[in-house]
Amino acid sequence: MRGSFQQEVPELPEAATSFDELEDRIDELPGDAKLLVVEDGEELLSVGSGDPTGVGSVFKLWVLLALVEAVEEGDTSWDETLELGQEHMSLPSGELQLEEPGFEISVRDASQAMIEKSDNTATDLLIRHVGRDAVEEAIDASGHHQPELMRPLMTTREVFQLRWEHEALGQEYTESDEDRQYAILEELAQKPFELAPEEVEVDDGAARGLEWFATPGDVAAVYQELESLSGDHHQLREILGANPAVVADRPWWDDLAFKGGSSPGVLAASWHAVSDDGTSRTVVLQVSGEPEMVHEAELEYWSLAEGPLTLDAP
């Protein structure tokens, strides 16, 4: 979906100066907000309930995890060339949808586009490459608290189709059991994708379940999985750190991973910082609620979310 945190960092409100202030200010903002800060496995701050809420394009971290596991198993390689097909085409964010079918891109470059630019078409290309079931298995293996909420694992194109192009089918999807949902996705694959970006408007799709769902703890866990694999796959640090979406005067970290995302009524941001001595800190923000209210508070949430990267532990 649209990676609202994937763009140029805007001018932000004043940052919080302590964890206590941070918690107080988040409680005053509209929407259902969750903020988790974990350092070396120790919880420094947890705001909000532990219920899963939408994560938007943050779900692409699990796609990346499934891809790395496929590389580990020898089922693909970072250098393997993928061919873009009409069936992979999605809407922005990203640029790969501007290429013609038959365009070739490496697994490594598609992964970079998926994380750095939140490229939806690159994401769907990779999901089709490793298999929907492989991503679902990666979600299970990462320790997701309610993996059934991520099944079927929808591509970005399928979400666009269900929320904005075939709304009646989308309504049926939300009311159906899992078997019928998989069947609906097979039906969608036979339909042409003719949705234009300007037709994507504010809707209640996330509230109806047409989203990707997780808890902040689930997001922190997938970062830990990816970090554990980065020693054997130097590409991971380069991919995850290409767009840190934060500027710090004196960063204490050597590597800073970032993934954010949004859709109407959903806002999410996540960072995973690692220093040269192995210290790691993960920050995960998730906001859900009435779309206009969430949008209006976006800059304030952004400012508060990046604060824990530099605040001293309480």
Do 165 and 226 meet the contact criterion of CB atoms below 8 Å apart? no
Do 51 and 67 lie in a common domain?
A: no
Q: Is residue 85 assigned to a domain?
A: yes
The yes-or-no verdict on residue 306 having pLDDT over 60 is yes
Do 147 and 182 lie in a common domain?
A: yes
Among 199, 226, 261, give the residue marking a domain's end.
199
Do 169 and 294 lie in a common domain?
A: no
d(CA 210, CA 213): 9
Do 97 and 120 meet the contact criterion of CB atoms below 8 Å apart? yes
Using alpha carbons, list the distances in angstroms from residue 56 to 103, 159, 253, 262, 281. Answer: 27, 11, 26, 5, 22
- pTM score: 0.95
| 125-177 confidence digits (pLDDT tens) | 999 999 999 999 999 999 999 999 999 999 999 999 999 999 999 999 999 99
Do 155 and 133 meet the contact criterion of CB atoms below 8 Å apart? no
- The pLDDT assigned to 199 comes to 96
- The pLDDT assigned to 84 comes to 98
The yes-or-no verdict on residue 194 having pLDDT over 80 is yes
Give residue 164's domain range.
Answer: 60-199
Q: Is residue 314 assigned to a domain?
A: no
CATH, residue 269: 3.30.450
Do 89 and 147 lie in a common domain?
A: yes
Q: Is residue 224 assigned to a domain?
A: yes
Res. 96 pLDDT band, cuts 50 70 90: very high
Do 16 and 120 lie in a common domain?
A: no
Do 19 and 76 lie in a common domain?
A: no
Do 258 and 153 lie in a common domain?
A: no
Do 186 and 94 lie in a common domain?
A: yes
| Residue 292, number of CB atoms within 10 A of its CB | 12
Do 179 and 195 lie in a common domain?
A: yes
Do 160 and 253 lie in a common domain?
A: no
- The pLDDT assigned to 245 comes to 87
Res. 6 pLDDT band, cuts 50 70 90: very low
Q: Is residue 176 assigned to a domain?
A: yes
- The pLDDT assigned to 10 comes to 52
Q: Is residue 206 assigned to a domain?
A: no
Q: Is residue 29 assigned to a domain?
A: yes
190-199 per-residue burial string, b: 16 or more CB within 10 A, e: under 16:
eeebebeeee
Overall number of domains in the chain: 2
Q: Is residue 205 assigned to a domain?
A: no
Do 75 and 180 lie in a common domain?
A: yes
Among 167, 199, 231, give the residue marking a domain's end.
199
